[in-house]
Every structure is written in C-alpha cells, then in structure tokens.
Structure 1
Amino acid sequence: MVEFQNENSFEIKEKMNQSQIVILPIGAVEAHGPHLPLGTDNFLAERLSQKLAERVKAFVLPTLPYGQVWSLRNFPGSINVSNNSLISFLVDIGESLYKQGFRTFAMVNGHLGNQTALKEAARVLYESCPEMRVFYFFYPGMNKAAAEVRENSSTHNTYFHACEIETSYMLYLAPEFVDMDKALTDIPNIPMHADSTPTPWEEFTETAVLGDASLATKEKGEYIIETALENMVKIIEAFKVEGL
C-alpha cells in the first residue's frame, strides 16, 4: 500500500510503474446517533481502502470527505453535496488519474447515498477513459454476511445506519471513535412511500439510528468487512488476469 499524498513528485513515477491501481475512499459527514461521530463514513471508507490496498498493492488517495446526504441533511452536523457536484468531482479525479497512467480506479464508498453518483461517474469515465477500469464498491456481499451474524432483523431492505451492522463495522475498523455506552435502540417504522418518493429521515426517526446499536460487536464487523474485502480483491484480481 502506498499513501498517495505522502509521496513526492520526484519518486512517484517509479512507484506508478510498479502498480497502476489507485483507490479513492469516499465518505460523508452526517448524523450517526449519539454513539458514532459525524465522520463515521469517512473513517470506514478510509480504513477499508487501506486494507484493500494492502491486498492488491495499490495507491490510496486522500479521502473525499463529503457526500450526498439529502435524507439526513436537516440533522445537526450533516453536510450535503449534490449528486451533480459529486459526479463532476469524481470524473475530474478519474480523468486526472488516467492521464497520470493509472488503469484501475476503485472508488470505495462508505455511504450508501453516494452510490448513484459513483455509478454515474463511472459511466462517464467508461467513455472518456476507455483503457481504465473503474469500480464503485459498497461492501460487496455484505447482505448475505450480515444476515448470518445479525441478532435483530433489518429495519429496511436497503438502508442500514448507525445500527447493529454499521456500529459493528466501526468496532472493527475504527473502535476508538465508538462510545457503546451511548448506543441506543431505535427501530423506526419506515413508511412504504419512502422507497417511492423523496422522504427526509426526520419523518420517521429523531436519532438517525435504524436498529439496535447495542447489539454491535467487533466480531460481527470483522466477519462482514472481511467478506466484502475478499469480494473486492477477487473482482480486481479477475480483471488484472484478463489484462484490463
């Protein structure tokens, strides 16, 4: 693993000749209940990226710390960036990396709300950087792994937030930022229309916690995170074998 920002321009070229894989951690600043920090998604994306980089011998870029948090934008501390802004930023970064000679660009996302922008940016880069493979990862394979270890049923079929699962991630990847004494249980009734029309989360939660955070453990987080890591490595390595 090479921390990109710690390098200097006199030595970076030789290291780039040894690896053409670069990873961008992407997070967000938003409410995560009383037991997790506003930067939870940043810590998760950054530390997951570092683990991935160690396994595929990649560069890790500085974390992109702001994301699309429309659903939680009205909670204290949340900072929202539009999808359009995020897409433009990611395309600019990707095209710059392409010109530098990188041929695998993996965006490691710590915040579900970013995923639409990442996918759209990857599609733009598919056209503008035809020789670069772009990935947008969000814990691939986590649903099956989470179902195997969780003690409480999921509040929503897609969302997980500051709950048993995400808190477990933090206990594994960034435990120093978790205060389990403040972990609470909030199992909101998420209305069906939330999947079909814009619905700010304050309509169904006052805490931004979607589940029972008190059930979180480091062991659960490790199992799910390591599953996701194995899947990311397999995907990247598969394309390396094919010469892409």
Structure 2
Amino acid sequence: MKFEYENSFEVKHKIQERKIAILPIGAIEAHGPHLPLSTDNILAERLSEKLAEKVHAFVLPTLPYGQVWSLRDFPGSINISNESLISVLVDIGTSLYKQGFRIWAIVNGHLGNQPALKDAARVLYDRFQDFKVFYFFYPGMNTILKDVRETQSVHSTYFHACEVETSIMLYLAEEHTNMDKAICDIPNIPESADFTPTPWQKFTNTAVLGDATLATKEKGEKIVEAAIEKMAAMLRSAKDEIA
C-alpha cells in the first residue's frame, strides 16, 4: 500500500495497524548502454512493493538520489554527499517515529548508499531506542549467486550493470531492460581501489562490471525472491517483538 495516497483523516489508524514503513532508496547514475539511469530506483521500488505485500506494510515515496561518488563524472549521474543523505534520512526517520511507526525498512538499490544508511540508523537508534531501523541490500544474495551466476565477480563486494544486476532488472522491470544493447566489459579493478579513493573512470568507460549478456529473468527471480524472504522474516520478527 502506497503511503502517499492515504488521507490524513484515516492514516493514523492504519499506521497503528501496519506498524512498518518501507522506504525505497536508489540513485541516478550510469548503468551502461542497456539499463536506464534510474535502475537503482526502479529496483528499490519493485522490491519494496513485493516486500510490502508480504508484511502488510506501507511503501513510502522513493528517495531517488544517492551517494554516487565513484560514478559522479559519468554522463547522467547525480551525486549527493553522505552527510546530506544521512541528514535527510534522520529527518525522515524522526518524522516516521513521531507519526507512530516503530519499524522502518530502508530497501536500498544502490550499494554506495549503505554507509550513510547505517550511520543514519545508528543516530536514530540513539534517539529512539524503540524504533527498529533496517537497511537492506539484497540480504542472502551471496549464497544464491554461488548457484546462479556463470561468471566470476570482478569485485568481492559490489556488482554493477552486469550479469547479476541485469538479471534482477529482467525479473523486476523487463520493460526497462534492453538486452540488444547489453555488453560484456570485464575491467581490471586495481587492488588499491579498496584502500584509496578511485573514481570508476580509472578502470571502466562503460560502468558495466562484467558480462551483462549472460543475464536471464530466471537468475533474477532466484536472487530477488531469496532476498524478499530474508527481509520479510526479519520484519515479521521485529513486528512480533512489539505486538
């Protein structure tokens, strides 16, 4: 259920009933020639809608901008700082708490947002200890990837516009995925990139990290459904604790 379409006369009761607010958050950034700039937002929204059905929650309007420092100089990318993102999230969380929500699930479509989400959640924990904040980024995915991916990841932590993310798009938003333009680009990411600031244009001019041509809807389904079950289980447990 989308929160923005409620009215202020009825929403208070519904908040008390549902208890959970879900915020999709993504980014506007380059995703190669076959995926749109809004890929992370689209995925966060579709994931949030599926999750909300599982746990009877409200879906908030998407927060469409994220920390995209690594890709900020690619055409179309729009970057905001960690500090700005943390501040906005803390303000949103504070408002949600005052409105009566006691569980907030931030469904993140862009890995670069995770540090800010974690910091914002910690600020809110110190402020409201009976307010449970989750920051989800495809939990359980690494286990599923061992079975579904055909290519080795180009990096131990992140994936981008590749076999994995393109598969997720094919499952959740096939209408925004152009496989005729999918490419294979396997960059050599220097080890030092994990230890010193390294803009991605230092090692890729496509923003594709892997072989997007191997993406399938079936792979995406396995990744997404596993993540949704993980998220739903944690939210149900949190809801039981405050019942």
Scaled by the length of structure 1, the TM-score of the pair is 0.98
> What's the CA shift for 1:243?
2.6
> What's the CA shift for 1:17?
2.2
1:175 match: 174
Amino acid at match of 2:161: A
Size of the aligned set, in residue pairs, is 243
> What's the CA shift for 1:10?
1.3
Instruction: Name the CA distance, whole Å, in 2 between partners of 1:18 and 1:120.
Output: 28
1:42 match: 41
2:58 match: 59
CA contact (8 A) 2:106 2:134 kept: yes
Which string of whole-angstrom CA distances, capped at 9 and with x for unpartnered residues, describes residues 66-103 of structure 1?
Answer: 00000000000000000000000000000000000000
Instruction: Name the CA distance, whole Å, in 2 between partners of 1:235 and 1:5.
Output: 25
Matches within 5 A, 1:65-144: 65-144=64-143
Instruction: Name the CA distance, whole Å, in 2 between partners of 1:78 and 1:193.
Output: 24
> What's the CA shift for 1:237?
1.3
**Structure 1, unpaired ranges of 5+:** none
Instruction: Name the CA distance, whole Å, in 1 between partners of 2:31 and 2:146.
Output: 22
> What's the CA shift for 1:242?
2.5
CA contact (8 A) 2:19 2:239 kept: no
The question of 1:18 aligning with 2:17 is answered yes
Amino acid at match of 2:234: I
Instruction: Name the CA distance, whole Å, in 1 between partners of 2:6 and 2:241.
Output: 30
Amino acid at match of 2:42: F
SS at match of 2:139: coil
The question of 1:206 aligning with 2:208 is answered no
1:242 match: 241
2:26 match: 27
> What's the CA shift for 1:142?
0.5
Deviates more, 1:130-139 or 1:231-240: 231-240
Which string of whole-angstrom CA distances, capped at 9 and with x for unpartnered residues, describes residues 187-223 of structure 1?
Answer: 0000000000000000000100000000000000000
Instruction: Name the CA distance, whole Å, in 1 between partners of 2:141 and 2:223.
Output: 6
Instruction: Name the CA distance, whole Å, in 2 between partners of 1:17 and 1:69.
Output: 36
Could you list the runs of 4 or more consecutive aligned residues of structure 1 that deviate by over 4 angstroms after TM superposition? none
SS at match of 1:153: coil
SS at match of 2:242: coil
The alignment-based identity, stated in percent, is 70
After superposition, the CA RMSD in angstroms is 0.8
